[in-house]
Chain A
Amino acid sequence: MSGRALAAIISAGLSKFGKLEGLYSREIFLSAAKEAFDRCPNLNPKKDIKSLFIGQMSESSEHQGHTGALIADWLGLNPTPSVRLESACASSGAALRAGIQAIMSGLVETVMVGGVEKLTHLSTSDATEYLALSSDNFLEQWHGFTFPALFALIARAHMHKYKTREEQLAAVAVKNHKNGSKNPKAHIQKEITIEQALNSRIIASPLRLFDCSLISDGASCLILTRPELAKRYTDEPVYIVGTGQASDTIGLYEREDLTSLNSIALAAREAYRMADVGPDDLDVVEVHDCFTIAEIVSYEMLGLCGKGEGGTFIESGQTEIDGKIPVNTSGGLKSKGHPVGATGTAQVYEIYLQLTGQAGKRQVEGAEIGLTQNLGGHGSTSIVHIFKRNI
């Protein structure tokens, strides 16, 4: 099955990311869906969409459960089957995989997958606690471990073992803000300097404010169909040619190597093999930069550079938009924002724009092959997908 299309993306939508005051998940999701419907006039949503898979980390922030049914209702898609999937920050990556599996099973032809999260109405301490839910409650949260602190432990271990420096972490933030300044849907569309990043306040040492992604509201969605039906709907589908997912321990402390996120490497290996693609073939990549250290470790786990070389790799400029392998052209979670449940399919939205030449000022010329890497928690879940413009 190597190199074969598993499914095709025929449309995609993304809400504005940011502090969307007065708007809640159901309404935010509609703006992403509206874009996807408008982009694909040949699609008749009520007739063609046979199933919905919606990622959302937690219903508790809005005191609203049953998100699958809620979204189907508000999209006017009843009685289409609809479920919510939860895999922490990889919830919509998981929704995408579920959609692919549904299509490949032969049960349905066309599905909508996506994700949504509303976070900015919470206080910082409530949001901090809410995001920490994806770590081990009884061993990590119980002892005051926050999410930034868990990634700080990875950063410290990486700095100790590989001499990675704070300036290299900051360089990730500077690059992603530069890219996000070109993205009209990004939460913060502003460039930052390395001095700003290095002088920002410490959240959990060695991580500073500018090492952390943003707490945002937002939604994203994709319409998928069987590859052979794609051209019925659009002249420019994007094909999904690889999918990989792996789990790792719920507690960071149980890992042998604290400088790695092994689940990324395992998910990538599966996706690369399925797609018959290697790291050198990639034209554009979106990685899960929930913290700057996560982008550096992702480079290594995806094989974009060698183990321990992530710090020097960011400094080499190769992951800039005009570099050898552009990473996070959207601005990433750092600048575009991180409405956790929406992030997985929002990464795919960016690759969809890039491979169909619609990425505007941040377009990577002639991009043919893309990859997304979506992380749940501190790597307890990893999901990797690979995309091709032509089959």
Chain B
Amino acid sequence: MEEIAFLRDERGEIYPTIENFYKFCGMGKLMAVRCSRCGRLILPPRPMCPECYSTDLGWVQLSGRGRLETYSEVYVPPKNFASKSPYVIGIVRLVEGVALPGQIVVDRGEKAEVGMELSVDFESAPAEGWPQWPRYFFRPVDRK
């Protein structure tokens, strides 16, 4: 695999930024950060804990498993998503307790359902435009 250039802080640690979060997605890893002072799990990562203002934060890998809390099938998409329409989006509550929004990829004829078990997967990065970040998405567990 090609070496991924992460933005790093003065100590050489991978900086807790959104872009680094997506760079991890490019490596097939769903990552959050945990605050070393108050223990809060922060997703997406932020450079400062919103709870205790500590900047002492460490990366942790998430299981990528969770349940669908709510969803919608989008028929009027933004321009960049026109070719995918209709597609399903939703909010996934991960087993670690934090939640992520994302696309829910279901088979033709298969229905999304509140409460369904999902696991994360990753797309490759788009070749043009900004930002060039690989997207994560979710699919039903039993299909993997």
- Listed in ascending order, the chain A residues whose CB lies under 8 Å from chain B are 124-126, 128-129, 132, 136, 138-146, 148-149, 152-154, 156-157, 160, 201-207, 251-254, 258
Contact = CB atoms under 8 A, between A and B. Distances in A.
Contacts of B74: 144-146, 148-149, 204
Interface stretch (B3-11, B27-35, B55-63, B95-103): B95-103
Given A253-B100, A254-B99, A156 B78 contact: no
Contacts of A128: 76-78
Contact of B84 (A129, A144, A206): A144
Contacts of B77: 125, 128, 144, 146
A154 B101 CA distance: 13
A104 B90 CA distance: 44
Interface in B28-75: 44, 69-75
Contacts of A138: 18, 44, 131
A203 B137 CA distance: 22
B75 A201 contact: yes
Nearest to A203: B76
Counting from the closest, the 8 A-B pairs by CB-CB distance are A152-B72, A144-B81, A157-B70, A205-B73, A253-B101, A156-B70, A153-B70, A204-B72
Given A142-B135, A145-B101, A129 B89 contact: no
B91 A204 contact: no
A203 B91 contact: no
B69 to A, nearest CB: 6
Nearest to A206: B72
B141 interface: no
A129 B78 contact: yes
Interface of A is mostly: helix
Contacts of A160: 70, 114
A148 B73 CA distance: 10
Contact of B78 (A136, A144, A254): A144
Given A138-B18, A144-B78, 8 more contacts: A129-B78, A136-B101, A143-B103, A143-B137, A146-B78, A204-B72, A204-B75, A252-B101
B79 interface: yes
Given A144-B77, A153-B91, A203-B76, A251 B70 contact: no
B69 A258 contact: yes
18 contacts: A125-B78, A128-B78, A139-B44, A139-B101, A141-B78, A142-B131, A142-B133, A143-B135, A144-B87, A144-B103, A145-B89, A148-B74, A152-B72, A153-B91, A157-B114, A204-B73, A204-B74, A205-B72
A162 to B, nearest CB: 13
B107 to A, nearest CB: 17
B71 A156 contact: yes
Given A138-B18, A146-B77, A157 B69 contact: yes
Contacts of B73: 202, 204-205
Nearest to A151: B72
B106 interface: no
Contact of B102 (A132, A143, A148, A149): A143
A138 B25 CA distance: 13
A129 B80 CA distance: 10
A149 B72 contact: yes
A207 B86 CA distance: 14
A204 B81 CA distance: 14
Quick one: which of B75, B80, B90, B99 has the most chain A CB within 10 A? B75
Contacts of B69: 157, 258
A254 B98 CA distance: 8
Contact of A125 (B79, B89, B133): B79
A146 B76 contact: yes
A139 B82 CA distance: 18
